[in-house]
Each structure stands twice: as structure tokens, then as C-alpha cells.
Structure 1
Amino acid sequence: MKGVIFTEFLELVEEKFGLAMVDKIISQSELNSGGVYTSVGTYEFSEMLQLLSHLSNNTDISVDDLLMVYSEHLFAVLLKSYPDLVSHYKNPMDLLASIENHIHVEVQKIYPDAQLPTFDLEERTDDKMVMTYKSDKALYMLGKGLMLETFKLFKVPVDIDFEKLNGEGTEVRFFITKR
């Protein structure tokens, strides 16, 4: 997993819960990295799982809810760092429909060894979209949060529902409906 995901996660933890919480979740975890991350480095996904789990345990906030908050933070950072990725889209449906053939292609140019989820577009109309998320990391709630942030960016109200296609959450179907 790319270091930028870790550095921004710890930035969010510090911002929302303080530096002491960052130190606490790092010390509670068994991290090969020692909890030292660079944005361009690559680290084990298990380290993120430990950090998330310890933050959840220490705050009594579910991992899913933490991922939703993190998605807001991460989206803002990515938008600020890479505004050209979204600037030529006129609406959120077009942007989401381009995840695989544009957004992820550009991300791979920036981070060649990034392990990205896939989003297969199954159905699309002007007001509705069905996409299937696939990733061995099962961070579908982060994906949902990033989708919600996309619609907020365009000031378009949306409902996003999902169904897990397996128990682990490594395959999830999203139902996206503009309101």
C-alpha cells in the first residue's frame, strides 16, 4: 500500500484526535516500518489494518465510520495535489465512469506500484449507475466515501447503496442514484 495513504491517515488522526493518539496507535501496533512512513514508500497493508483497528478500539468509532471520515480527508488532499485529474469532468457520473480508464491510469503513472481496486461499470444512465468494486483489501467503505465526495464536489445530491457479493467485502456492488 502506498505511503501517501499512511501519511494522510496519520495526518487525519493527528488533526481529529491529537498527536498523542497517533503515538498510541503506533505503539499498540506491531509495524515492520516502525510507524515511519514516506508518501512515496510502499508498506504492508496489514500495518494499515492495525492502525485502523487500534484507532477504532481507542475511539469507539467503527472502522467503517473511520474510513468514511478518512475518505473526506483523502479526497481533499488528492484534489488539491492533482486537480487536473478531475478538472475536465462536467459531472460526477462521468468522473466515476472514468475511474478505470482514466483516473487509475493516471494514478499508476504517479505511483507505478500502487495496488488499486477495480471498479467495473455494469450499468449507467443519466441518473443511475451500478459499479462493482473488487479488491483483496476490502476497503469498500473508503471507495463509497470517495464516491460521495465526488458528488459533493459537483454539488449533486446522491444516494449510494451497496451489497457485499462475498463475506469478506472484497467484491461489492454499488448502486449510485442521483436525487
Structure 2
Amino acid sequence: MKGIIFTEFLDIVESSFGLDVCQQMLDEALDEGTYTTVGSYDHKDLVKLIITLSKITNVPATDLQEVYGKAVFTRLLASLPIPVDNETSTFEFIRKVEEHIHIEVKKLYPDATPPRFDFISETNSVMTMDYHSARCMAHVCLGLIQGCADHFNQKIHVEMEAIQPDQSHVRFHIQLLAG
């Protein structure tokens, strides 16, 4: 997993919970917290940090993942290797992630293994897509989808359906809401 995911996570933890909680999380997870944005790290280290933060804050790990995904969206958007048109919609952007951004990320970082999206169906107001990732971080993806909709000033309702119990394969039903 690319280091930017870790550095942004630590920044968000510090700004949301404070430096003391961030340091406590690192100490209890036995993690030095020395990540660089361009480094590559084991995703299990991030999972360990999330679980540790959950124990410290009494916030469910799935909720922390969603909040993180939502908060990190604009930060990741700014780091993209291709420009994004502000006239893009939520659905257009999600398609762009799979069809262009993940491809460009793999060109820049050959060792990167981004998740894969399979698009099942789409209308003007509903998109159904499958998320595939060995990292099983569908709740981060849910937060990213919510952050994407917020960025494009669209209201959505999202339902997650675990196809695999470990959430390595999850189906998202995304509905655009009026107004």
C-alpha cells in the first residue's frame, strides 16, 4: 500500500483526535509511524493502527474507516496523476478511477495493487459496482465514495453488500438523491 495512505491517516488522526491520541495509537500498535508518501508498506500495518485507534476511542473500526475514506478523498484527489474536471459527476469520477486513475497509478508505481471495480449496471441515478481488494477495506471505499459525492455536491445513498465474508468482494449500490 502506498505511503500516502499512511501519512494521510496519521494526519487525520492527529487533527481529529489530537497528537496525544495519535502517539498513544502508535505506541500501543508498536509502530514507529515513520512513513513517507512514496514508500510502500504492508496494509496490515494500517489495519493494526485502525484497530488500535478503535480500542482507544471506542469508535467502531468500520466507522473509523468510513470517516477516514471520506476525509482523505480531497487529499488524494489533489495528488492524482491526471487532472479532474470539476464538471465531473460522482458516477463519472468513480468510472474514471477504475478506467484511468488506477492504470496511471500502476504506471507510476509498478508495485501498486489498487482495488478493482467491476461495473454491474448504471442508470442516471443508480450505479451498482463490485469492489475487489485483497486488503478488505470496503469501508474505506465507502467513505471515499461519500467524499466523492460531497466533492461534486451530490447527495447519495449507498448500500454495501458483502459478497465475500472477509469483504474482499463487496457490491455497492449507489443512488443519487434529488436536491
Counterpart selection for 1:178 from 167, 176, 179: 176
What residue in structure 2 maps to residue 22 of structure 1? 22
For residue 178 of structure 1, report the CA deviation from its aligned partner. Answer: 1.0
Alignment of 1:64-103 (within 5 A): 64-82=62-80, 84-87=82-85, 90-103=88-101
Relative to the length of structure 2, the TM-score reads: 0.91
> d(CA) in 2 for partners of 1:85 and 1:59?
37
Distance 1:85 1:139, change over 3 A: farther
Decide whether aligned partners of structure 1 residues 12 and 171 sit closer, same or farther in structure 2, where only a CA change above 3 A counts: same
Q: In structure 1, the residue corresponding to 2:112 is in which secondary structure?
A: coil
CA distance in 2, matches of 1:118, 1:165: 14
1:85–1:103 CA contact under 8 A, matched in 2 = no
- Counterpart selection for 2:41 from 40, 43, 68: 43
Aligned position for 1:150: 148
- Code of the residue aligned with 1:165 in structure 2: it is I
Say if 1:89 and 1:95, in contact at 8 Å, map to a contact too: no
- Residue among 122, 136, 139 paired with 1:138: 136
What count of residue pairs does the alignment treat as equivalent? Answer: 177
**Cα–Cα, structure 1 residues 107 and 144, in superposed 2: closer, same or farther, change >3 Å?**
same
Change (3 A) 1:8 1:132: same
The percentage of counterpart residues that share the same residue type is 34
RMSD: 1.7
- 1 CA distance for matches of 2:41 and 2:88? 35
Q: Shift of the alpha carbon at 1:42?
A: 0.9
Equivalent residue of 2:124, what SS? coil
- Give the drift of 1:157: 1.3
Displacement of 1:168: 0.6
Whole-angstrom CA distance in 2 between matches of 1:160 and 1:154 = 16
CA distance in 2, matches of 1:76, 1:96: 14
SS at match of 1:98: helix
Q: Which residue of 1 aligns with 2:53?
A: 55
- TM-score normalized with structure 1 length: 0.91
- What are the superposed Cα offsets for residues 36-76 of structure 1, whole Å, 9 maximum, x if unpaired? 11111111112111111100000000111111111122112
1:174 aligned partner, one-letter code: F
CA contact (8 A) 2:135 2:168 kept: yes
Question: Over residues 126-158 of structure 1, what are the superposed CA-to-partner deviations in whole Å (9 max), with x where a residue is unaligned?
Answer: 111110001111110111111111111121111
